[in-house]
Amino acid sequence: MIALRACAAVAGAVLVVGTVSSAVRTMVVPRGTPSTIARAVFVGLRYLFRALTIRRRDDEAQDRIMALYAPLGLVTLPVAWLTIVLGGYTLLYWALDGGSLRDALRLSGSSLFTLGFAAPHDLPTLALALTEAGAGVGLLALLITYLPTSTTPRSTGSETSSPSHLVGNLASMELPFATAHRATGEAPYVARASSAYVRDGAGWKLAFHQQTPLSR
């Protein structure tokens, strides 16, 4: 039993540390860093949305459904983080206190969401409960801080050069200098870009896009 509780403590610590690391890398680090949890959430939702749109031939209907993909992912991600933290601390309480899993889950939920309906009985468990309360508040604070910035436009306008080229059902647009003026007051984003479109009935669909930043 001691060995089992030791393994539970290690597993719980790995879950908690990995989840907090995933949240920091996803919400705080200003560059793209891999996160297994975030990838699992969005890939899982991608399969769900693909199943919902696979039989819909209308592009507008598919677009209406896929428009919910990113917002739903942003809402599901913190739920996944909180759930994993809840499970990780449940294992830690069970390993530390020696009680039942039900009591450990009850204490974990009370501490994570700062509800106060369960209280730790000793100093080590109290210290652990305080760290869980901090983790829960921190994850919610990251979400509240991130969501408004994710809906703020990154640019207020753009300038392009060079006309489009049309050959049959293919169209291309080459932009030697495309400039986007940032809404945050930072230096303009300048890039060399090119796009290719294919005629589909009465409209056009983007087939390829590439851009190389020229600004630092």
Residues recorded for the chain: 216
**Which of the pair, 76 or 34, is modelled with greater confidence?**
76
Q: Where are the domains of the chain?
A: 2-150, 155-213
149: left (phi > 0), else alpha (psi -120 to 50), else beta? alpha
pLDDT by residue (tens digit) across 31-65? 667 889 989 999 999 999 988 888 777 777 888 88
Distance CA 139, CA 80 (A): 11
Q: What was the pLDDT predicted at 19?
A: 93
Residue pair 129/120 in contact by the 8 Å Cβ criterion: yes
Q: What was the pLDDT predicted at 163?
A: 47
57 alpha-carbon distance from chain centroid: 29
CATH class for domain 155-213?
alpha beta
pTM recorded for the entire structure: 0.68
